[in-house]
Structure 1
Amino acid sequence: MKVISKLLAATTALGMATGAFAADMTLKFGHVGAPGSLFEATVDNFAACVNGAMGDKVEVQTFGSSQLGKDKELLQKLKLGQVDFSLPSSVMSSVDDAFGIFEMPYIISDRDHMRRVQGAMMDTFQNAANENGYHIVGLAENGFRNITNNVRPINLPADLEGVKLRTPNGVWRLKMFQEYGANPTPMAFSDVFTALQTGVIDGQENPYAQIASAKFQEVQKYLSVTGHVYTPAYILMSKRKFDGLDAEVQAGLTDCASQTQDFTYEKAAELEASLLKVIEDAGVEVNTADKQAFIDASAPIYKQFADEVDGGQEMIDTVLGLGASG
């Protein structure tokens, strides 16, 4: 019986191994999200969709927590063919100025507004991605961003004066917080917890899902609900890789990305409610900022974007117009 059991176990293991490598093509998806993050949920959902729909043709393998690199490294690895997918967000504004539109404070009011912007302007973003060697398979979400820090509650922009605040590697976020009076410091997401813990920086700004999954509530005293920026995330491939896939695979990936966006929006809305309580229960003091004061203080950033980015004012007017029509 022992021999038979061993043979059965070996056969089962062989079958599992064979199944794992049965797909014609294995694609690696690297991202920076921690366990329990919206990024992880998004990527896992996309992989499950692809693997279920196209298991014989394509298998997507997922690697979170910056295992395959930080955001900028992943963008480079896409072009080198070392990674097949990544999920960048704010960093895309450093790829092309067009993505900087989502760095404008309070320009996106809610997810329905974001869908209207996507419907009207996706060609603009896809063209910008293509010109830089990338292809957007679909959109997901990073979310509405709020500020945590160890100095004081942030109610007005003036409260940010001198606060050492981590920002992502995007030029417009940097400019925005400089305008508010903070001392912004671009830093990779994976380095933020230690920097907060050791006092290298005072604070950071992220959606609740990123704050809670990275456990920033363990090393921050204050959470100020500002909702200052809504950032989409991009299911991204290199253009060369995507263009080299057959039409059926391209269509399957695009369809799964669309389904994943629906999933992500529902999941994000759930997490917004549940994770605020997680952060509060950790002893973080929560206040709701004066959003109108931040909107008023944001006018110079809009002007700078309009002046410096080709077609910037037109993009601003289009996005704001789509919000008003909702």
Structure 2
Amino acid sequence: MLIKRLITGMTLLLSLGSPVSQAVEKIIIANGGTADSLQGQTARRFSEQLQARLGDQYQVEYYSDAKLGDEKDLLDKLRNGQIQLATISSIMSAEVPEFALFDMPFLVRDRQHLKLIDSEIIMTDLAAAARRHGLHIISTWENGFRQISNNSRPIRSPEDLKGLRIRTPQSEWRSLMFASWGAKPTQMPFSHLFVALQTGEVDGEENPLSNINGARLQNVQKFLSISNHVYSPIWLTASDSSWQQLPAAVQAAITEVAADAQRWSFAEGARQDTRLLKSLGNAGVQINHVDRITFIAASKAVYAQFARQVKGGDALIERVMDLAGH
């Protein structure tokens, strides 16, 4: 009789959803960009493949469009354990000074150059610097080459930027860059940008084509100037303490799926550049190319500040330039 009562009680507990039946670990992945941007597409692909790799023991949840906050918020949530993984781009340099390397204008030549930088510098020197700040860099994905859009005029030289209020990410280096070119940089989260352009709070912005298209900025911008002034990676990031607590098999799964996502994002970025440029032109945006020589000449102050402010900055820049010849 006692055994029967015990079995009945256990059956009831299981039917109500006991802790044993719900012992599923959760991995939350967050992205501050739009779902349609390349970073959003890559993060979604990664999340789906990671769920398939981990199976039923883990529940992978993915949030895009800054639903869990902008990049600054996401870093805070990583550190306090509210989320496990996040994609972090331009704001990384505010956390780890060495990452300002990717705010140096016209430094990254192309994606092949970026792959060499990733293996020789990011995943060695910069990843070590990130760990000193409590962050673990898992993989480098593409955000893209950045272009300039505005509602006033085509941008051909720095002279054309004078007086224009240009939204920049929350990065002192991007602000310094545009100030050096004569603009009035205005830092704000990406999630606020469409309305700021629509209302005239800012005149323009700078972003990869996939971000511009993903946020439908072509609906509130008249001119697009192709500059490729910065290549912005985006880093799949965890807090170092949370990463160390993950089982080795889960760490391996995340790392391997992230490497596949990297290969896809670089290839897809190249495909999208041509397609999106045509699409944005068809949407009525007037497109031109900047005079890179005049912009490079106006960028000396940014490099000088990096060399002064970031320990070993000159050496990092030289190593990146050396890799461009490989």
Same fold at TM > 0.5: yes
Q: Does 1:216 align with 2:217?
A: yes
Give unpaired runs (5+ residues) of structure 1.
1-16
Partner of 2:6: none
Q: Does 1:35 align with 2:1?
A: no
Partner of 2:84: 84
Cα distance in structure 2, aligned partners of 1:146 and 1:23: 47
Residue type at the aligned position of 1:229: V
Q: Deviations over 1:239-291 (max 9, x none)?
A: 11110011111111111111100011111111111111221111110001111
Partner of 2:232: 231
Partner of 1:245: 246
Partner of 2:207: 206
Cα distance in structure 2, aligned partners of 1:195 and 1:45: 30
Residue type at the aligned position of 2:125: T
Q: 1:101 to 1:23 in 2, by over 3 A?
A: farther
Whether the 8 Å contact between 1:27 and 1:60 is mirrored in structure 2 is yes
Residue type at the aligned position of 1:262: R
**1:73 match: secondary structure:** helix
Q: Does 1:266 align with 2:267?
A: yes
- Tell me the percent identity: 39
Q: Deviations over 1:18-75 (max 9, x none)?
A: xxx9883211111122132112211111112211111134332111111011110111
Runs of at least 4 residues off by over 6 Å: none
Whether the 8 Å contact between 1:29 and 1:60 is mirrored in structure 2 is yes
**2:173 match: secondary structure:** helix
Q: Does 1:311 align with 2:306?
A: no
Partner of 2:46: 46
**1:29 match: secondary structure:** strand
Cα distance in structure 2, aligned partners of 1:22 and 1:164: 52
Residue type at the aligned position of 1:82: Q
Whether the 8 Å contact between 1:146 and 1:225 is mirrored in structure 2 is yes
Give unpaired runs (5+ residues) of structure 2.
1-16
Shift of the alpha carbon at 1:213?
A: 0.8
Partner of 1:168: 169
RMSD: 1.4
Q: Deviations over 1:287-308 (max 9, x none)?
A: 0111111111112211111122
Whether the 8 Å contact between 1:148 and 1:221 is mirrored in structure 2 is yes
**1:55 match: secondary structure:** helix
Whether the 8 Å contact between 1:148 and 1:223 is mirrored in structure 2 is yes
**Structure ID, larger Rg:** 2
